[in-house]
């Protein structure tokens, strides 16, 4: 067993979510949100280079040496899957690794709102899961796909970079395509999806104008499209989408978005009060007729007020959910306060 594999197994069995391997410090595991050193021995340049080479073919190694960074997925049979980013810093190689559990947690196990099941049952339109890096977006989407796989009969195509959770065929047929291996990029894969008879398309990340535009078109033509964005709330998510387009298209995109949007789920992870896990605080926007009108009339700033008064329709703001978690003793006031201040 090589050194990297030993570290991956140790991190998995200690319930870490991430591993950081960088020269000049011991390996570091993120456990329930805290960064903790694993051992005392500092890593040297030869150590991190050896670890990187152990998971890269000769061709990928040469590509990495040229591009200076690389994303890939790696699996250890009977243990887990790992999402890796290998990169250079100060001339040395570092690795940032996310542990992806083999078992896909359910919506209930994640303590996510039941309205996500209703959202997953929609037959067409655009559903966005947003939040900063490391906020559990991929896990939430995997749980929604798993819910479909157990309760519905659909053809689901995912475009991921890299593939994280592995789905088995259940009631659904699930084709998972990895960007860089199964398709050149998100844009090509998404265009090809439309010719592959999908019911549901998952776009791992909506990064650019062409991907966003094609996703909106797919949602307009009778598909349910799930995607992610690195935004912190519903209003900024819609602003981000509209801002990607040139000025002369913004009005048309605003109308299209108002028509195709089904829901926006924004989330952020907090360490639990008992320090034994993490829990997602969420913000949920459902595109009701009232919300559609606000989007069309460029009144996105009024959307938080709508969410606050539409709890019976499954909506709530991030602030409402964080306060609920504090009041229920799930997270501490100390952890919540900086974020509540940030949101005003």
Same domain assignment for residues 22 and 171: no
Whether 180 shows a pLDDT value over 90: the answer reads: no
Mean pLDDT, residues 56-85 = 94
Q: Tell me: pLDDT of 284 over 60.
A: yes
- 81 and 207 share one domain: no
d(CA 124, CA 61): 41
Q: Which residues pair with 176 in a beta bridge?
A: 158
Are residue 58 and residue 168 in the same domain, yes or no?
no
Kind of pairing between the strands at 200-203 and 69-76: unpaired
C-alpha–C-alpha distance, residues 57 and 35, integer Å: 30
pLDDT digits (tens, 9 = 90+) for 39-50: 999 999 999 999
The tens digit of pLDDT for each residue in 308-338 reads 999 999 999 999 999 999 999 999 999 999 8
Mean pLDDT to the nearest integer, 200-228: 94
pLDDT average, residue stretch 55-68: 96
Query: What CATH code is carried by the domain that includes residue 245?
Result: 3.40.50.300
Average pLDDT of span 194-222: 94
* Sheet strands (E) in 235-309: 261-271, 278-286
- The CA angle 294-288-243, to the nearest 5 degrees, is 45
DSSP code for 137 = H
Are 207 and 262 in the same domain? yes
Number of domains, the chain: 2
The last residue of one of the domains, among 67, 100, 133, is 100
Query: Which pTM was predicted?
Result: 0.88
| pLDDT tens figures, 225-276 | 999 999 999 999 999 999 999 999 999 999 999 999 999 999 999 999 999 8
Q: Return the CATH number at 55.
A: 3.30.450.90
Confidence of residue 344 (pLDDT cuts 50, 70, 90): low
Tell me whether residue 110 is in a domain: no
């Amino acid at each position: 067993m090589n050194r990297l594999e030993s570290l991956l197994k140790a991190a998995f069995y200690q319930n870490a979510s991430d591993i950081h391997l960088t020269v000049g410090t011991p390996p570091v595991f993120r456990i329930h949100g805290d960064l903790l050193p694993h051992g005392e021995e500092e890593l040297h340049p030869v150590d991190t280079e050896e670890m990187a080479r152990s998971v890269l073919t000769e061709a990928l190694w040469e590509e990495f040496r040229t591009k200076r960074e690389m994303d890939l997925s790696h699996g250890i049979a009977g243990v887990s899957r790992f999402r890796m980013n290998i990169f250079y810093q100060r001339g040395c190689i570092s690795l940032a690794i996310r542990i992806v559990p083999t078992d896909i947690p359910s919506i209930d196990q994640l303590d996510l709102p039941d309205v996500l099941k209703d959202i997953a049952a929609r037959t067409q339109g655009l559903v966005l899961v947003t939040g900063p890096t490391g906020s559990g977006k991929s896990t939430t989407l995997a749980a929604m796909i798993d819910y479909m796989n157990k309760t519905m009969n659909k053809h689901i195509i995912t475009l991921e970079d890299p593939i994280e959770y592995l789905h088995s065929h259940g009631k659904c047929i699930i084709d998972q395509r990895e960007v860089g291996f199964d398709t050149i990029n998100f844009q090509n894969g998404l265009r090809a999806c439309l010719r592959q008879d999908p019911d549901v398309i998952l776009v791992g990340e909506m990064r650019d104008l062409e991907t966003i535009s094609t996703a909106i078109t797919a949602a307009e033509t009778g598909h349910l499209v799930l995607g992610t964005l690195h935004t912190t709330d519903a209003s900024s998510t819609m602003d981000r989408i509209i801002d990607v387009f040139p000025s002369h298209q913004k009005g048309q995109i605003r109308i299209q978005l108002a028509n195709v949007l089904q829901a926006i789920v924004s989330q952020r992870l907090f360490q639990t009060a008992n320090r034994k896990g993490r829990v997602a605080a969420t913000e949920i926007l459902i595109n009701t007729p009232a919300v559609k009108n606000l989007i069309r009339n460029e009144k996105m700033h009024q959307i938080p007020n709508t969410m606050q008064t539409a709890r019976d329709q499954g909506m709530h703001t991030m602030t409402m959910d964080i306060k609920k978690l504090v009041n229920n003793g799930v997270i501490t006031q100390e952890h919540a306060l900086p974020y509540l201040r940030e949101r005003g």
